[in-house]
Amino acid sequence: MAGPTHEVFNQFDELSGYDLLATDAALREAMARAGAQWALPQLGAYGAQLGRAETYQLARDANRHGPEMRPFDSRGRRVDQVEFHPSWHTLMALYRAQGLISLPFSNAQPGRWSAWAAGFYLHGQVEQGTLCPATMTTASIPVLQKEPALWAQLQGKLYSDAYDARDVPVADKASVWLGMGMTEKQGGSDVRANTTQATPLRSGPGAGGRGGEYLLRGHKWFFSAPMCDAHLVVAQTPHGGPACFYVPRWRPDGSKNAVHVQRLKDKVGNRSNSSSEVEFDGAWGLLMGEEGRGIPTIIEMATMTRLNCVIGSAAMLRQATVQAIAYARQRQAFGKRLAEQPLMRSVLADLALESEAALVLAMRLAHAFEHADDPAQRAWKRVVTPAAKFWVCKRAVELTGEAMEVFGGNGYVEDGVMARLFREAPVNSIWEGSGNVMCLDVLRALAREPEAAAALLAELAQDAAGEPRLVAELDTLAQWLGQGAPVPEAAARTLTQRLALVAQACLLRRHAPACVADGFIATRLADPHWGRVVGAFDARALAVDALLERAFPA
């Protein structure tokens, strides 16, 4: 029983019970631009369901009661199972039921990539861990489509919207999940340093080769989502170098494959999802593509998963921004609401600008992936995707911490959304290539495809026309790229940051209200001191009320 001193007032819970899509004008506008209005009814219902207090509780439970490893059954038989809280399965089934796993490939309607990105973005605002197996499964589809025999077995199960959590052979399942196995302890992002060996199951003429059976021996330091029904794995072949293999949990004869889970990683965040170390003890696999072409094969998958990282981090930025604005509008300090305090208004305005800039860039990239056969769109896909992954994912790390501070001590407890966002944010910056790897990839893309860089700069110049601050920044960027000599590696982070900011500014100028575009350009490009601390600018020159109302209607 509460005592007389325990009257609770001026305390407000983190936001739930709202419609994620109905309150997001920028997302609805992005879908309209891409011709994805046909997806609005379904995604509208999904956004309303995700915003319910019950769904937030599922996310809380799935992260509080993380996966548990069970290597053996009660009689000592090796089972290598990972057991999940029921909330995990409910969230996985919820996402799968939307048809988002296969949408970019099974649907021919214009705007399908943007519709998929919107659904991923909505889900990622509430729970991120379940999006790890979803990301890898979707990204595996175009790689598997190039293997006709394998694709014939898997297409229906990958395109299925049913959720089948059973640990049984692929042939017996209604739907399947795919994972990845690249990282080894000695190499990390340097996949060519991998030591896992794959040898043909049979010897003699015709053994091995594309579609052939191999046995894998080795160790993977990070093996994402070990309960997936199969993984795409990079291993060394005897004479051809690294290759990509399809390695299922169960062999075709119905026996358990020799993929032994050594332990689950005790991660900082992403705690609802299982990440593991595994040992291949003669694991059965099929060669995909050609020997020696394993890295290009798996990089095709990684290119899409990098887009997922951008969208996922944009989702976290959105959730952090919405939570901070909603809380600041209610909480009072020093005689007025936090949202009325001048310094807090600067912080909230900065969050709002960052969130919309991340979204507009992510959705532009989704459009480019849909139209990647067009040279101009390929420039966005090939050059800007790694730049966006570098920049947006790093901004999510910083700004989730800043949004947590809006809540004060209440944000620093594990019961709420803010702590989970803060713990979750770094994973997208690390997974699928850390910041330095992304910046070096930008340099490689610019060097290998100078025509793509020229096409990209020409498109951005059209949006920059008439805005002196943006024109000046774009001219500087063009000078960097037009020097004739490669950009030095030591400058790769600077170049990548400038490219991402210019792209965001141009997109906002083309698509967003003036209060957003002008505010972004004034703070990010015109203020030489911007970026050292969130909100460290004079917000009196910005239309703060309009920014906050657009970010989250009162």
pLDDT of residue 294: 86
pLDDT of residue 344: 97
The residue type at 235:
A
Say what percent of the chain tops pLDDT 90: 82
pLDDT of residue 46: 98
pLDDT of residue 523: 96
Quick: pLDDT tens for 500-535: 999 999 999 999 999 999 999 999 998 888 888 999
Task: Give the domain ranges of the chain.
Answer: 25-159, 172-292, 297-551
Quick: pLDDT tens for 125-161: 999 999 999 999 999 999 999 999 999 999 999 999 9
Both tokens of residue 150? Answer: 């394998």
Both tokens of residue 295? Answer: 């890295």
pLDDT of residue 531: 85
Cα distance between residue 299 and residue 289, in whole Å:
13
pLDDT of residue 483: 65
Cα distance between residue 55 and residue 5, in whole Å:
34
Chain mean pLDDT for the chain: 94
Taking domain 297-551, whether its CATH number is 1.20.140.10 is answered by yes
Highest mean pLDDT among 192-196, 220-224, 247-251, 474-478: 247-251
CATH code for the domain defined by 172-292: 2.40.110.20
Largest CA distance in the chain: 87
Residue 3 has pLDDT above 70, yes or no: no
pLDDT of residue 9: 86
pLDDT of residue 416: 86
Higher local confidence (pLDDT), 448 or 404: 404
Mean pLDDT value across residues 34-63: 98
Are 101 and 158 in contact by the 8 Å Cβ rule? The answer is: yes
Q: Which residues have a Cβ under 8 Å from the Cβ of 520 and sit 6 or more positions away?
A: 353, 357, 504, 505, 508, 512
Categorize the per-residue pLDDT at 180 as very low, low, confident or very high, splitting at 50, 70 and 90.
Answer: very high
Categorize the per-residue pLDDT at 190 as very low, low, confident or very high, splitting at 50, 70 and 90.
Answer: confident
Residue 1 has pLDDT above 70, yes or no: no
Quick: pLDDT tens for 260-307: 999 999 999 999 999 999 999 999 999 999 998 888 888 888 899 999
Are 64 and 420 in contact by the 8 Å Cβ rule? The answer is: no
Both tokens of residue 77? Answer: 């038989």
pLDDT of residue 252: 94
The helix or strand, by DSSP H or E, that contains position 493, with its residue range, turns out to be helix 492-511
Q: 350-359, 447-456, 510-519 — which is least confidently predicted?
A: 447-456
pLDDT of residue 204: 62
Categorize the per-residue pLDDT at 51 as very low, low, confident or very high, splitting at 50, 70 and 90.
Answer: very high
Say what percent of the chain tops pLDDT 70: 98
Cα distance between residue 540 and residue 501, in whole Å:
23
Cα distance between residue 75 and residue 242, in whole Å:
38
**How does 362-399 read in b/e, with b if 16+ C-beta sit within 10 Å?**
bbbbbbbbbeeeeeebbbbbbbbbbbbbbbbbbbbbeb
Are 240 and 258 in contact by the 8 Å Cβ rule? The answer is: no
pLDDT of residue 187: 65
Cα–Cα distance list, 461 to 212, 213, 464, 475, 506 (Å): 50, 52, 5, 9, 8
Residue 54 has pLDDT above 70, yes or no: yes
Cβ contacts of 140-146, under 8 Å, gap ≥ 24: 140/178, 140/232, 140/301, 141/102, 141/104, 141/105, 142/105, 142/300, 142/301, 142/304, 143/232, 143/244, 143/288, 143/297, 143/298, 143/300, 143/301, 144/178, 144/246, 144/288, 145/105, 146/288, 146/289
Q: Which residues have a Cβ under 8 Å from the Cβ of 188 and sit 6 or more positions away?
A: 221
pLDDT of residue 10: 86
Using DSSP, state whether 259 is helix, strand or coil: strand
pLDDT of residue 32: 98
Residue 428 has pLDDT above 80, yes or no: yes
Mean pLDDT value across residues 207-234: 93
Are 348 and 160 in contact by the 8 Å Cβ rule? The answer is: no
